[in-house]
């Protein structure tokens, strides 16, 4: 029996070795410095092996938490080694205006600022998806999801006179290349012209903004422009149309 227990413990240790990932973190990195952790002390040292690094300290001074309106200071040995978090804030609802005329057509627009704040040193990714397909529906009818003319989003919003569509365009400092433009086409490095680069909101997560650095204590806002149009030769059934858009932020 003792033999079996010993055998099982050995196997557990081996398994842990296989299944556990190496835990490595950087102290300082990059040309512009990202001072993540450091210590002012009179004792302690760093010990490393192939898979592990041991950091200890002794007699540290000037420790504790303090804050101002713009900054939070976590002074002390590895005080910043806290749990990462990400928070998204946005309006609960957006009413697109004006109302669209069912017979003669029209365009309604709306926007929602989505603020992301994260302390994750590697930043965040912001995704968008709709709860239904197509996204914008009423009890009896729907707006088709916007269809770009090619693989990239359309630089200019364009809907056939004989159809209707609902789409979006993200704007902000962290929007990914897909939604950037050079003044003519999208999906190129360059600017972020307002009300350009229109895309469909699918039922699976689509990446719209990304950053590789934390943004605390401030946040980063991505403004989602929504647009729905019914062409002037299209009859859109009257009613109240709604779409539930799900914004998901994930730390990198």
Which residues, numbered 73-132, are part of the site for another protein (CB under 8 A)?
83-96, 99-104, 108, 110, 112, 114, 116, 118, 120, 131
Residue 194 contacts another protein per CB under 8 A: no
The residue range among 45-53, 73-81, 212-220, 228-236 that interacts with another protein, by the rule CB under 8 A, is 228-236
**CB of 31 or CB of 93, closer to another protein:** 93
Q: Report how far residue 247's alpha carbon sits from residue 190's, in angstroms, rounded to the nearest whole number.
A: 25
Write out the two tokens for 224. Answer: 């989602």
Q: How many residues bind another protein (CB under 8 A)?
A: 78
Site for another protein in 18-57 (CB under 8 A): 19-21
Cα separations in angstroms, 184 against 134, 178, 189, 200, 249: 28, 13, 12, 19, 30
Q: In the bound complex, what is the minimum distance in angstroms from residue 240's beta carbon to another protein?
A: 6
Residue 200 makes contact with another protein by CB under 8 A? no
For residues 232 and 200, what is the distance between their CA atoms, to the nearest angstrom? 21
d(CA 160, CA 52): 61
Six token digits for residue 10: 């050995």
Q: Does 186 bind another protein (CB under 8 A)?
A: no
What's the token pair of residue 36? 């993540």
Residue ranges in 163-182 that form contacts with another protein under rule CB under 8 A:
166
Asked if 214 touches another protein (CB under 8 A), the answer is: no
Residue 226 interacts with another protein (CB under 8 A): yes or no? yes
Q: CA–CA separation, 182 vs 24, rounded Å?
A: 40
């Amino acid at each position: 029996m003792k033999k079996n227990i010993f055998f099982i413990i050995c196997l557990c240790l081996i398994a842990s070795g296989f299944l556990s990932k190496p835990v490595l973190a950087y102290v300082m990195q990059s040309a512009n410095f990202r001072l993540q952790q450091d210590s002012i002390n009179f004792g302690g040292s760093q010990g490393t092996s192939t898979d592990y690094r041991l950091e200890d300290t002794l007699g540290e001074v000037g420790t504790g938490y303090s804050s101002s309106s713009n900054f939070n200071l976590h002074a002390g040995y590895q005080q910043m080694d806290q749990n990462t978090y990400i928070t998204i804030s946005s309006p609960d609802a957006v009413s697109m205006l004006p109302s669209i005329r069912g017979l003669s057509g029209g365009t309604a627009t709306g926007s929602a600022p989505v603020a992301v704040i994260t302390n994750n040193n590697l930043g965040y990714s912001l995704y968008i998806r709709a709860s239904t397909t197509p996204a914008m529906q009423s009890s009896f009818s729907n707006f088709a999801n916007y269809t770009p003319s090619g693989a990239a989003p359309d630089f200019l919003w364009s809907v056939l006179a004989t159809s209707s569509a609902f789409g979006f365009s993200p704007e902000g400092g962290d929007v990914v290349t897909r939604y950037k433009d050079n003044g003519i086409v999208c999906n190129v490095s360059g600017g972020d012209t307002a009300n350009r680069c229109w895309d469909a909101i699918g039922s699976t997560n689509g990446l719209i903004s990304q950053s590789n650095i934390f943004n605390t204590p401030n946040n980063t806002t991505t403004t989602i422009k929504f647009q729905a149009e019914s062409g002037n030769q299209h009859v859109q059934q009257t009613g109240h149309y709604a779409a539930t858009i799900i914004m998901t932020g994930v730390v990198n």
